Every structure is written in C-alpha cells, then in structure tokens.
Amino acid sequence: MTAISPPGSTKFQIDLRRHLREEEEDRDLTRVICEIADASKYIINAIRTGDLGLAGTSNLYGENQLALDVLSDRILRKRMIHSGVVANILSEETSEVIEVDPGGKYSVAFDPLDGSSLVDVNLAVGTIVTIYEGSDLLQSGRNQVAAMYILYGPRTSLVYSTGRGVHEFCMNQLMEFTLTKENIQLQPSGNIYAPGGQRNLYTEGTEKYVSSLEEKGYKLRYSGGFVPDINQILLKGSGIFLYPHLRDKPKGKLRLIFELNPMAYLIEQAGGKASTGRQSILDIKPESIDDCAPIFIGCREDVERAEEYIARYG
C-alpha cells in the first residue's frame, strides 16, 4: 500500500536518508549520520526507562557518570564501530581517541547525553555530534564536514548540517525522522537570552552586556540544557545563548570539541554567529580533548554587540 500524503505536504514526508540522498551527500557520510539517528532510538528508550542512578565511574572532567551516560555512550560507540566507515571516535565520556579503522573516511566526536543531570527532573536533554573527514579530531571547528544534535524533549527531533543549510527532522510514530524544517535561518537580532554561569561571577563586559539585553526587554529562556537552549534559539530564529568566561573560570564551562564546535557550525550555517567574545569559536585550534571556551552564540548582531562589550570592558 502506498501512503498518500495530503496536498502540499510532500516535503514533510521526506525522511532523513532520502533528504541526504537528494542532497547528494557522500555515501559514507550518509551512513554515519543515519547510524547516529538510529542509535538515538535506543538512547530515547534508555532515557525513558533506564536507571537514573550513578554508574560508579567518573569521566575525564571528574564528573560522576550516570548509568545513562555510560549506556548512551556504549550505544553510540557500538554503532560507530560497526558502521565500517569511521576511522576514529571520541566521546565526552571517555578520555581517549578510539581507533576503529584506519581506512575509515570519517572521524566522529560526540557528547552522548548532554545535560544528563536534568533527566531526573524530567527536563530535555540531547546528543551532540561533530564529524570530520580523515582521522584527526583535534582540528579547528571550521574543518567540520557535518554537525548534528538530537533533542529528547516532549518530541524527539534531529537537526543536522553538512554545510548546505540546517534542517530539522522530527520523529514520527514509526520512529522515523521526517523533515519538518528545511534551511533554518536566524534573524539578524533576537529577543530572548539564555545566560549560563553564575551572574555574580560575570566580568564587567558580560554583566553590562546582559543588563543591556534586559533593558531592551529580552526574555530570559534558560533551561540548563545546552541542546534545548540552542534548539530554541535556532528554531525560533531569535536570541543569544551565553556561557561566558567567569571570574573564577576564564575558559567558561562548555567543551570546545563536543559542545561548542558542532553548535557553532549549525548556528553559522543558519546565518548566526558563535564567538568566545574575542574570536570565532570555529577558528580555535584545540590543544587537548578537554579544552573549554567561553561562548556567545546566536543571532549575528546580538553576538557582535557582546563582542563590543567584551572588547571595551573585558
């Protein structure tokens, strides 16, 4: 039986694989992206029904790992290892690059369950992925060939870019990702702000900048999950997220390879901007796996204004 789509809705029946095919994406890259999309179905199941306790281990950053972090990591890692097209993988949950296949065309780094500390209070969390050609995962974000995230909220959505626009897919009842928004674009400036980090530790520049947003009537929208917070800005086409340099943490909190680079790539593809306040996130050459950086990310003019405040007041 052939499913008949309502008039004018054909675009919305396009699933992820077909979209990648129509974009004439490289076969191996399509494979990696689709494997990650498939893995997310098992991660959802783990989030919905899994153990919320600690795994009894800690990650590279000394954070206690939840059983869910460990499970999500295993699910993704296994998929990547068996994909047959991946050279190296690197997970936020492990401390070292795993060499899979020297002949693999792509290397993949991921944060399997970002914001996992929010699962026990039933807030949205996500998986973030960055993909490079070749085996080097310590490159500047500018060299990414694709980035994507999967958001586990009331609905499950997937957003990806391979450098030709940013596209959103939502999971349907058959657990297929079907196209919901193509070529997402941010407005030049927005009206919401998502400020991470303790306000009393902000530097003068950041404090003055955030106060200026409040004076202009920007609405506060911060969930504490990087994926849902960025997704809101991207999908509403409006606003800025910041996790700035703090007086006691000059490099901020968020990780360059696993969190900042893929989101910066997606936001820039949508016409926005991502900056440390002093330079583009995508131009930073990582020195080690656990590098962190401050970030101001979202609508272009909002980020440029933040840069002006940082240049003036630090």
Decide: is 67 part of the binding site for ligand FDP (CB under 6 A): no
Decide: is 117 part of the binding site for ligand FDP (CB under 6 A): yes
| Binders in 256-275 for ligand FDP, by CB under 6 A | 259
- 253 is annotated as contributing to ligand binding: yes
The Cα 161–Cα 142 span in angstroms is 13
Measured from the CB atom, the residue of 259 and 268 that comes closer to ligand FDP is 259
The CB-of-145 to ligand FDP minimum distance in angstroms stands at 24
The Cα 307–Cα 314 span in angstroms is 9
| Binders in 207-226 for ligand FDP, by CB under 6 A | 224-226
Please give the sequence-ordered ranges of beta strands (E in DSSP) within the chain, or none if there are none: 54-58, 64-66, 86-91, 98-99, 106-114, 125-133, 146-152, 156-161, 167-171, 177-181, 192-195, 219-220, 240-243, 273-275, 295-298
- 176 is annotated as contributing to ligand binding: no
- Are the C-beta atoms of residues 261 and 282 closer than 8 Å to each other? yes
Read off the DSSP letter of residue 77.
H
The interface mask with ligand FDP, positions 174-213, x = CB under 6 A, is: ----------------------xx----------------
Give me the residue label for tokens 């400036």: 189
- Are the C-beta atoms of residues 91 and 76 closer than 8 Å to each other? yes
Pairing of strands 86-91, 106-114: parallel
The CB-of-31 to ligand FDP minimum distance in angstroms stands at 28
The CB-of-68 to ligand FDP minimum distance in angstroms stands at 11
Considering only residues 25, 35, 114, 302, which one is a binding residue for ligand FDP as defined by CB under 6 A?
A: 114
At residue 199's C-alpha, the angle toward residues 198 and 205, to 5°, is 125
Considering only residues 148, 254, 281, 284, which one is a binding residue for ligand FDP as defined by CB under 6 A?
A: 254
- 116 is annotated as contributing to ligand binding: yes
Closest CA to 227 of 260, 198, 249: 260
Measured from the CB atom, the residue of 104 and 197 that comes closer to ligand FDP is 197
Decide: is 115 part of the binding site for ligand FDP (CB under 6 A): yes
- 115 is annotated as contributing to ligand binding: yes
- Are the C-beta atoms of residues 204 and 233 closer than 8 Å to each other? no
- 114 is annotated as contributing to ligand binding: yes
Closest CA to 255 of 170, 138, 81: 138
Segment near ligand FDP (CB under 6 A), from 110-118, 143-151, 170-178, 264-272?
Answer: 110-118
Angle of helix 27-49 relative to helix 67-82, nearest 10 degrees, comes to 160
Measured from the CB atom, the residue of 104 and 225 that comes closer to ligand FDP is 225
Measured from the CB atom, the residue of 3 and 121 that comes closer to ligand FDP is 121
| Binders in 128-167 for ligand FDP, by CB under 6 A | none
The Cα 128–Cα 148 span in angstroms is 6
- 259 is annotated as contributing to ligand binding: yes
Decide: is 60 part of the binding site for ligand FDP (CB under 6 A): no
Decide: is 228 part of the binding site for ligand FDP (CB under 6 A): no
Q: Interface with ligand FDP by CB under 6 A: which residues? A: 114-118, 196-197, 224-226, 253-254, 259
Binding positions for substrate are: 114-117, 222, 253
Query: Which residues are part of a known binding site?
Result: 92, 111, 113-117, 222, 253, 259
